[in-house]
Amino acid sequence: MEPLVEGAMALSTVLVVWFGGQRVLRGELPIEDVVAFLFYLVNFYQPIWLLTDVNEAWQQGIASIKRIDEVLRLEPEVAEAPDAITPTRLAGELHLAHVDFAYRPDQPVLHDVSLSVAAGQTLALVGPTGAGKSTIVSLLARFYDPQRGQVLIDGIDARQLGLAALRRNLSMVLQDVFLFNGNVRENIRFGKPAASDAEVETAARIANAHDFTSACRKGTTRRSASVACGSPAGRNSASRSRGRC
């Protein structure tokens, strides 16, 4: 649509200059009339031009709505058990028992992995890229279920735990930090929309983000798309999230 309007505008300008110019040279038309005509042309095409912009935005909007609809209609691969247990607080004792897992059947990622972590114990998983460290964390959060073996949390098979209860008891800091378009406060509140301002501030302090967000002029109300400022911790996390604070 836009190239069509551009083409028509260019063609009509050429025609006005060509025919108008000839008549000016023959003394049949004052040059001001030709100039005025050119202005009329701009006035004529401007609304059409704006309409093509609206049309483009409309088409993009329709495509986005279709995509959002597709995502919302996706059935989660991980289903909640009908008799799921929903403990309010998990101690955090973790146990992986002979776990096999593959994202695709022909590419096994974890094979017969067993490990135990006591509640309160710190465990670092070290290994080459692609070894499956993040995959283990995804299994603990039950983003996926293992094809074989069991993931036990406080001795309960993760499949038997209510998804909301399980995830309420988990905190996760991802490698690629994603910040939603909004301010820092809204981003922190994402996991608990009803959190009070004091809770948001406490969370920011625990995450070492309070110093650098309050060093920003508007503190946690600063738009997350703005550039990072403040302490090295802030700069690190911000650079990972493509320079946003």
- List contacts with Mg ion (CB under 5 A): 133-134
Q: List, in sequence order, every beta strand (DSSP E) within the chain.
A: 94-104, 107-117, 148-153, 156-157
Query: Min. distance of Cβ 124 from ligand ATP in angstroms?
Result: 12
Binding at 135: pick from Mg ion, ligand ATP, none (beta carbon under 5-8 Å per type): ligand ATP
Residue 35 tokens read as 């100039």
Q: What gap in Å lies between CA 47 and CA 100, rounded to an integer? A: 62
Q: 127-146: which residues touch ligand ATP (CB under 6 A)?
A: 127, 129-135
* Cβ contact 145:78 at 8 Å: yes
Q: Which is nearer to Mg ion, 221 or 236 (CB)?
A: 236
Our CB check for Mg ion shows the closer of 65 and 131 to be: 131
Is 216 in a helix, a strand, or coil? coil
- Decide: is 115 part of the binding site for ligand ATP (CB under 6 A): no
Contacted entry of ligand ATP, Mg ion, none for residue 155, CB cut-off 5 to 8 Å set by kind:
none
Of 110 and 245, CB closest to ligand ATP: 110
Return d(Cα 64, Cα 37) in angstroms, integer.
Answer: 41
Burial class (CB in 10 A: 0-12, 13-18, 19+), 244: buried
Our CB check for ligand ATP shows the closer of 14 and 78 to be 78
For the bound state, the minimum distance from the C-beta of residue 110 to ligand ATP, rounded and expressed in Å, comes to 8
**Which residues face 100 on adjacent strands?**
148
- How far apart CA 103 and CA 168 sit, in angstroms, is 25
Contact pick of 40, 103, 178, 190 for ligand ATP (by CB under 6 A): 103
CA atoms of 177 and 211, how far apart (whole Å): 18
* Residue with smaller CB distance to ligand ATP, 134 or 202: 134
> In 3D, which of 218, 230, 225 has the Cα closest to residue 241?
225
Q: How far is the CB of 178 from ligand ATP (least distance, A)?
A: 15
> How far does Cα 213 stand from its chain's mean position?
20
**Residue 109 contact, options ligand ATP, Mg ion, none, Cβ 5-8 Å cut-off depending on partner type:** ligand ATP
Token couple for 160:
């038997």
Q: Of 69 and 176, which CB lies nearer to ligand ATP in the complex structure?
A: 176
Applying CB under 6 A, the residues found at the interface with ligand ATP are 103, 109, 127, 129-135, 175
